[in-house]
Structure 1
Amino acid sequence: MEMLTFPVIIAVFLVTLFLTSHIAKQVHGKYWKMPVVFMSWVVGGLLAFLALVSIDVLPVAELDPTIILVLKYALPFLVSTIVLMVLVRLDFMSAFTVNAAGLFIGLILAVVAIVSLGHSIESTVNTGNIVLQTAKANVVSMITGKPVNQEALAKLSPVEVEEEIELEPVYTTKDFLPPSAQKALEVKEQKIYTQPHYRDINVLNARRVIGKRVRASWRDGKVSVGKLEAVEGGDLIVSLRREEGIAQVPISMSSLKKLEVFR
């Protein structure tokens, strides 16, 4: 559709120009052919734009807002009508009729083209208004020497509100568990994992770590690593790896400098 936009605009313009020139012929315009009508559009459009600029430049702020609004629409139409009178050689009422008919035909064809291309009429009109107001503000700024009011131009652009898309809920296995199991799983997930390592433990609490790997340090500097099998009296029964295999060796707690458990 985007590729067809420019050809459709050209087609709408040519059809409007063709019909307007033939209406000028019907009302007995002396120079009714398409090039003359096109030239009247160019000159009339330029003078109409300057008429809009003059409304902003001249001190008309004290006038009633309704009068200013009427001037913004009536003055450009009046100027373009006068240009048609001069170039096509028509009387005022005939030029008024040709100008109004051309504008009406152009609007109808433009609406049909916008709809056929799948565009929004409101957004298209708003875009055209922004372009016109921006060009007019720049010309007024050049004439008066005042900077362009960017805030006023920014207000012309509508704020697009993105529609919130409701996503379908995504269920996991956890959602189908009973509440008690879900709570237990949440508690487990909240636990912070720490890397296991050797921790000091009092030899008097050795019974608590039976079945775990321990590291025993003697006072003479020797270190043995093995699995704590049992605590009998004042001895620790530890499975140590020897050259001949694994052997359970009793270690006197009184001879130990430090006892560590791996957890």
Structure 2
Amino acid sequence: MPPLDLPLGLGTSGLDDPAECTETVAAALAAGYRHVDTAQMYDNEAAVGEGIDRVCSDPDLDVDRDDVVVATKVHPDNLSPEDVRETARESLERLGLDRIDLLYVHWPIRTYDAEATLPVFDELRENGLADHVGVSNFTPDLLREAREILDAPIAAHQVECHPRFQQSELRGLAAEFDHRLVGYSPLAKGAVLDDEELVEIGERNGVSPALVALAWALDRDVSPIPKSSGDHVIENLRAAEVDLPESDLAAIDALGPGERLIDPDDAAWNR
């Protein structure tokens, strides 16, 4: 299996209305997205699948399912071996797919047990139900442990990442271990829109601060997955065309760090 290409993707966390979710996914794929991220926890896999099917089955749009990376994540309550097997298949049924391109451990908490959980992800990959295995919200130590247990290479590690929470250590490990770092909340839940430094950089380059944040991520080898709807879906895709000068990228690198925005009490880093 070749390494997984993960361009800027569409995040679907919070797209709770089924009709809106389906429309957003369909519009994103029609506009050029080729990476869609969902999760059992989001309770929208069926709507995501409808959007994918709508576009990939339309001959006028010429979008090949094989060109779309579809990712989902196993709920932390479902990480015992039998639950992984059962709920992964249920996810495929909801998505209307016979395989998932990228299957993540969503959070290494609750029913997660590395020695018991991870071999089932290998099993699903060997049985053709998942092309690639990923992890999400892992600490560096848990990431190293997972690499030792899994037979499959880790294709991606998904974590919160944006200009005020840059994840330099995990970005370095992604480069060292040759997997993609996928950044959720790349717009810091909208906070980048009012970030004075990012606004100034955007004004110098004639783009929005949202595009500044996404372009920085792409330049720093992070695959951002902004959640968006309406016109923002197409606007965010333009980040791939934004070429920020190195001086501005360095200025973003030097920004004062903020705090985590997604920080549940039982997260691995809080233990």
Q: Same fold (TM over 0.5)?
A: no
Q: Per chain length, whose mean CA-contact separation is higher, i.e. which structure has more relative contact order (CA < 8 Å, sep 6+)? A: 2
User: Which protein has the bigger helix share?
Assistant: 1
TM-score by length of 2: 0.19
Larger Rg: 1
TM-score by length of 1: 0.20
